[in-house]
Amino acid sequence: MTISHDLLRLKLAESLAADPPALTRREVVLPGIPGKAFAVIGVRRGGKTTFLAQCRADRLAAGRPREAQLMVSLEDERLTGLTVADLGWLLDEHARQFPGFREAGGMTLYLDEVQTVMGWEGLVRRQMDRGGVELFVSGSSAKLLSREVATSLRGRAMEVLVHPFSFREALRHAGLEPTVGWDRLKPKVRKVLEARCRAPSTAQRDVKRARIVLLAAAGRSTRSIAEEVGVQPRIVSNWRRRFAEHGLGGLQDLPKAGKQPLYGKATNKRILALLDQPPPAGYARWTGPLLAKALGDVDVQYVWRFLREHNIDLAARKSWCESNDPQFVAKAADVVGLYVDPPAKAIVLCVDEKPSIQALERAQGYLKLPNGRALTGQSHDYKRHGTTTLFAALEVATGRIIAAHSKRRRRVEFLGFMNSVVAAFPDRELHVIVDNLNTHKKNERWLKKHRNVHFHFTPTRSSWLNQVEIWFSILQGQSLNGASFIAVEQLQEHIDAFIAAYNETAEPFAWTKKKVYQRRFKNRRITQL
């Protein structure tokens, strides 16, 4: 029997509209292995559906769209006789109604009691092969045994075993959970362990050890931890004891008896000493082979291993720009004061230019990869069709943008744009934040004619204090990158269309303060471990 499409559309609408239920939070740790589906298994009435609802609620709370969180309960009596073709049509209908989530990698699909649909394995494999989706399937242990999951999904799924309430969860459900003294993990230690579970580069033995400690801290028994992690109970007891005695260091393998290591602390000090010295003549930076060559008696593999263990990345670079303005504090306080406490009945604007935006024409299309996935692509070759300069003013209170195009960015163009800004706010006092470009200064004659306009200059080399720079980065990332234009006029119309759409949903930027610890480098390498 084939289920009607109207009923499937109704089921889709109900699934998307359903609010997360009030539930008791379960302490189940998801394996942090990317590209894998999650097979949620357990005894009947053990809380599998509740755990799926919890995962959906967590993602909704994190700000993911409701339309990208599709949870389908296949135990609905209206879906009796549902076929795998019907289920496939339901998922395709969701993709038609809400395109783009899968391509953006933000789609999550929950299939509850999936064992009721004959041939569900092929559908799940197809969804995983398409990519761009986080997939949860659940069912009773009678139908989703560990061995059957591994066979059906061919290594594409990780098992998540859901037990009935632990003692701690039972206390929580009854409103009797202790507020202190239960979880013995410090926040920093917990953060390290959770990072190990999520990182794709973490060895599986280290992932298992981290999960053992996290589950133990949640009040789980040794036997239940062993079943969920897939190890013997004595292994769980061993790592719990090691962590209790030695902390994070106890989760590392003990040195094996036998031959002493070839390299020791003296070698490590020699590597660090070399890193504090300039690289050989002709080289911009140290590399692993260069370090091994300079040491002379150290294998390059040991050098790489030492660098990884100490989180030293020889290729990564961080740039900075330090203001040399002697009035930095006063100017910065003036600008930030306008953001957090603007004058009454006044308009605060951030003004700047984005010069020389190029109208580049590139061939565009889709590239099909060997695995069947399609990616957007563009040709390396391009044609230039001129440039435009964009003047922009951001209203701090609303986030709306006023903009104008120009061929050049001289003083006359800047003041012409300011005239249009003043006309947009008649009879209002305007406080305008600008940087130290020469065209922004020495405009006293114009300011005398416009007594209601006050210029506030950011400190030198501190354009990041101007909020319109944030909007320029949004424009570049969402509108200009990857676009192709055959004329400057087309480029300008493209930017104007983006600004119009942006202003419809514009919101002010949340200006926050972050404490910065700054240290002068004085033209030398500083190694911090």
CATH number at residue 468: 3.30.420.10
Q: Does residue 323 fall inside a structural domain?
A: no
Q: Which domain covers residue 74, as residue numbers?
A: 5-164
Q: How many CB atoms lie within 10 A of CB 67?
A: 14
Judge if 299 and 375 occupy the same domain. no
The first and second tokens of residue 490, run together, are 């087309």
Handedness of CA 350, 356, 361, 362 (dihedral sign): negative
Please report the pLDDT score of residue 528 as a whole number. Answer: 44
Q: Does residue 196 fall inside a structural domain?
A: yes
Judge if 210 and 354 occupy the same domain. no
> Which residue in this structure is represented by tokens 């701090």?
396
Q: Say if residues 73 and 112 touch (Cβ distance below 8 Å).
A: yes
Q: List, as one string, the DSSP characters of 319-358.
A: -------TTHHHHHHHHHHHHHSPPTTEEEEEEEEEEEEE
Judge if 200 and 114 occupy the same domain. no
Residue 358: name the closest of 249, 486, 520, 196 by CA.
Answer: 486
Q: Does residue 510 fall inside a structural domain?
A: no
Confidence of residue 26 (pLDDT cuts 50, 70, 90): confident
Judge if 34 and 136 occupy the same domain. yes
Judge if 439 and 487 occupy the same domain. yes
Judge if 238 and 131 occupy the same domain. no
Judge if 11 and 32 occupy the same domain. yes
Judge if 233 and 115 occupy the same domain. no
Judge if 227 and 338 occupy the same domain. no
Please report the pLDDT score of residue 146 as a whole number. Answer: 45
Q: Does residue 365 fall inside a structural domain?
A: yes
Q: Does residue 55 fall inside a structural domain?
A: yes
**Predicted confidence (pLDDT) per residue in 518-529, tens digit:** 455 554 444 443
Q: Does residue 314 fall inside a structural domain?
A: no
Q: Does residue 236 fall inside a structural domain?
A: yes
**Predicted confidence (pLDDT) per residue in 57-92, tens digit:** 888 888 888 888 888 888 888 888 888 888 888 888
Number of domains in the chain: 4
Least confident of 77-81, 102-106, 206-210: 102-106
pLDDT exceeds cutoff 50 at 411 = yes
The CATH number of residue 33's host domain is 3.40.50.300
Judge if 348 and 447 occupy the same domain. yes
Q: Does residue 517 fall inside a structural domain?
A: no
Q: Say if residues 17 and 95 touch (Cβ distance below 8 Å).
A: no
Please report the pLDDT score of residue 260 as a whole number. Answer: 65
Q: How many CB atoms lie within 10 A of CB 469?
A: 17
Judge if 243 and 365 occupy the same domain. no
CA distance 84 to 91: 11
Of the residues 309, 343, 377, the one at which a domain ends: 309
Judge if 394 and 291 occupy the same domain. no
Q: How many CB atoms lie within 10 A of CB 464?
A: 12
